[in-house]
Amino acid sequence: MSKSVGIVGARGYVGAELIRLIAAHPQFELAFVSSRELVGQRVADHFKDIAGIDPELRYIAPSNDELPSLGADAVVLALPNGKAAACVAAFDAAGVDPVIVDLSADYRFDDTWYYGLPELTRATYAGQRRISNPGCYATAMQLAVAPMRDALAGPVQCFGVSGYSGAGTTPSDKNDPDKLRDNLMPYALTNHVHEREVTRQLGHEVQFLPHVAPHFRGLTITANLPLSRAFQREDVVARYRTCFDGEPLVEVLDEAPWVSRIAGRHHVELGGFTLSPDGRRLVVVATEDNLLKGAATQALQNLNLAFGLDEWTGIPVANTQQGRAA
């Protein structure tokens, strides 16, 4: 039996990716798609390359109080930070309990919500219907650091660069192609929400230095890990391969991954493992499409998990070569 999924805030880049993934999913169907800017327009007219969209489905702009009456089995909140609580409160007030996946940071620090980074947290999933989707950078950083967590000797530093789609559609310096041309724009260099998120989830201090680049999609982070003892490179690589063995959305490479190769793909690439001469400092590089594994693809993983489906249903996983020999 198919499950219906509603999307709140579908005009943005991530909302568009969600529409594509859910419309193509064999067991999900779009219940509603909300966007104030596109209200009344046919969704299919904006996705002519997708066959699975009901030609009569139109963008709507329901109030928060109207959302519970729309009858979706699951609702994905693709809203800016600070906007999710009012939607959740409306469902609570109406006594309606769909699966809710929140893509904002609003519930990532709330222990009553499941934190859905499946490769690291699926063992803690116990039927929760409120799921907080991790941040894009936070996903890459955690996957890059987690295999070495027990051997860390001090704060981890992560230098990050993202395409400007990560800044959303609301105009700003961080998504202005003219200002970004031939440029690398630093921002939020301390206390970034993803810095706090990763520090909390890993139980270890992570210092994050984010930047925006002129490309549209895809992010890369270079993580500097101080280690409590000396390691050999083959031992480090073995740790990563063991940690992510059987994970089709994590590819462990020998060489450092390139952000230009990750755009449009659904997995994270980890590689470039480099140790200092004394073996006590490791550098790891991670790349990811911020709109896919950093947001929409991960939301689909979490929806599949919530409905008892194979976690990778509806996700193209054949384009990874997980486990490629180092």
Model pLDDT for residues 124-146, shown as the tens digit of each residue: 999 999 999 999 999 999 999 99
CATH number at residue 266: 3.30.360.10
Distance CA 18, CA 78 (A): 9
Per-residue pLDDT for 174 more than 90? no
What's the whole-number mean pLDDT along residues 82-96? 96
Answer yes or no: is 318 within a domain: no
Other beta carbons within 10 angstroms of residue 97's beta carbon come to 11
Residues 63 and 187 grouped into a single domain: no
- Predicted confidence band of residue 175 (pLDDT cuts 50, 70, 90): confident
Looking at the structure, tell me whether residues 79 and 156 fall in a common domain: no
- Specify which residues 268 forms β-bridges with: 250, 288
pLDDT in tens, 44-69: 999 998 888 999 999 999 999 999 99
Whether residue 141 is found in the same domain as residue 274: yes
Whether residues 129 and 177 share a domain: the answer is no
Shared domain for 88 and 144, answered yes or no, is no
**Cβ atoms of residues 32 and 70 within 8 Å:** yes
Claim to verify: residue 105 and residue 248 sit in the same structural domain: no
Are residues 161 and 124 both part of a single domain? no
Structure-model confidence comparison of residues 50 and 245, the more confident one:
245
The domain containing residue 231 runs over which residues? 136-290
Confidence of residue 93 (pLDDT cuts 50, 70, 90): very high
Q: Which 3 state secondary structure label does DSSP give 103?
A: coil
Phi, psi of 81 (to 5 degrees): -55, 140
Band the pLDDT of 320: cuts 50, 70, 90.
very low
User: Structure tokens of 308?
Assistant: 């008892």
Question: Are 231 and 170 within one domain?
Answer: yes
Please tell me whether residues 58 and 195 are part of one structural domain: no
Tens of pLDDT, residues 29-49: 999 999 999 999 999 999 998
Distance (Å, whole) CA 37 – CA 60: 9
Q: What are phi and psi of 165, to 5 degrees?
A: -60, -25
pLDDT at 318: 62
In the annotation, is 136 catalytic? yes
Per-residue pLDDT at 88: 97
Do 181 and 107 share a structural domain? no
User: For residue 110, how many other CB atoms are within 10 A of its CB?
Assistant: 12
From the list 252, 248, 312, 316, the residue with the least C-alpha distance to 286 is: 252
pTM over 0.85: yes
Read off the pLDDT of residues 195-235 as tens digits, 9 standing for 90 and up.
999 999 999 999 999 999 999 999 999 999 999 999 999 99
The answer to whether residue 7 sits within a structural domain is: yes
Q: How many domains does the chain contain in total? A: 2
Output the pLDDT for position 161: 98
In a domain, 312, yes or no: no
Q: Does 175 share its domain with 112?
A: no
Residue 326 lies in a domain: no
In a domain, 125, yes or no: yes
Distance CA 95, CA 318 (A): 41
Digit-coded pLDDT (tens) for 277-309: 999 999 999 999 999 999 999 999 999 999 999
Catalytic residue (choose from 87, 136, 158, 243): 136
Output 175 or 258, whichever has higher pLDDT.
Answer: 258
Beta bridge partners of 203: none
**In this structure, are 300 and 255 located in the same domain?**
no
